[in-house]
């Protein structure tokens, strides 16, 4: 089993953190994992993306041209990466910021207003956790409860943000099953 997940959006949307948390959860489950971040020199506002490869055997190459899944947080990312997702994968579209669709009948297109949900619960910065949770809930690449523990671990040094992120996880999971 090998799954490749690409997270993509603007710098400042928590794209790299989402990938890091997913990679942590996969490692906790005993999988081989590669996390490769990429971002433009602008950082906040520039393009940011990362790839997470999860496998039950050694990973031959961390470079992935055709990921199995995509979490697109903005329109340029959807337009750039949706065409290369493997058939049968999950493509999460942040409908708060993306007015178009992947137009791929061969993928499971998950439409989640991640940014709007994050605003509703108190912080637009939680949109990445909403999207990550919705994606994991739909794709099942890792156990959802394991992901929850890894989100808590990520924010262990900032305890005041844990309740917000737990609510973001619950709302993301609910959005995936709606």
The answer to whether the CB of 53 falls within 8 A of the CB of 4 is yes
d(CA 5, CA 52): 5
Angstrom CA distances, 165 to 115, 129, 168, 175, stand at: 13, 7, 5, 15
- Give residue 38's pLDDT: 84
pLDDT at residue 40 above 70? no
Listed by start position, the domains of the chain span 2-177
Q: What share of the chain is helix, strand, coil (3-state, %, to 5)?
A: 45, 20, 35
Q: What is the pLDDT of residues 19-39, one digit of tens each?
A: 999 999 999 999 999 999 986
Q: Is 9 exposed, middle or buried (0-12, 13-18, 19+ CB in 10 A)?
A: buried
pTM of the model: 0.93
> How many CA atoms within 13 Å lie on the side-chain side of 127?
27
The answer to whether the CB of 69 falls within 8 A of the CB of 52 is no
The listed CATH number (3.40.250.10, 3.40.920.10, 3.10.20.740, 3.30.565.10) that belongs to domain 2-177: 3.40.920.10
Give just the sign of the alpha carbon dihedral 175, 163, 38, 44: positive
Q: What is the pLDDT of residues 50-101, one digit of tens each?
A: 999 999 999 988 888 899 999 999 999 999 999 999 999 999 999 999 999 9
């Amino acid at each position: 089993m090998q799954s490749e997940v690409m997270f993509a959006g603007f710098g400042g949307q928590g794209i790299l953190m989402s990938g890091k948390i997913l990679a942590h959860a996969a490692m906790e489950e005993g999988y081989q994992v590669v996390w490769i971040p990429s971002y433009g020199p602008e950082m906040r506002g520039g393009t940011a993306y990362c790839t997470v490869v999860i496998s039950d055997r050694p990973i031959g190459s961390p470079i992935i041209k055709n990921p199995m899944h995509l979490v697109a947080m903005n329109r340029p990312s959807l337009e750039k990466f949706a065409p290369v997702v493997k058939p049968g994968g999950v493509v999460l579209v942040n409908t708060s910021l993306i007015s178009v669709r992947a137009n791929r009948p061969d993928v499971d297109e998950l439409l989640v207003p991640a940014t709007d949900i994050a605003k509703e619960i108190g912080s637009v910065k939680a949109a990445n956790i909403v999207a990550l949770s919705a994606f994991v809930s739909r794709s099942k690449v890792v156990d959802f409860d394991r992901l929850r523990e890894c989100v808590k671990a990520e924010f262990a040094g900032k305890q005041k943000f844990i309740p917000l992120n737990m609510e973001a996880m619950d709302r993301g999971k609910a959005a995936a099953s709606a």
